[in-house]
Amino acid sequence: MTATTTHLTRELDHRYSDGIDVRLLWNQHDNRVFVTVNDAKTEEAFTIEVREGERAMDVFQHPFAYATRRSVALAA
State whether residue 1 is helix, strand or coil.
coil
Cβ atoms of residues 72 and 47 within 8 Å: yes
- On the 0-12 / 13-18 / 19+ scale of CB atoms within 10 A, 18 is exposed
52-67 pLDDT, tens per residue? Answer: 999 999 999 999 999 8
7-60 pLDDT, tens per residue? Answer: 699 999 999 999 999 999 999 999 999 999 999 999 999 999 999 999 999 999
Cβ atoms of residues 23 and 13 within 8 Å: yes
pTM of the full predicted structure? Answer: 0.81
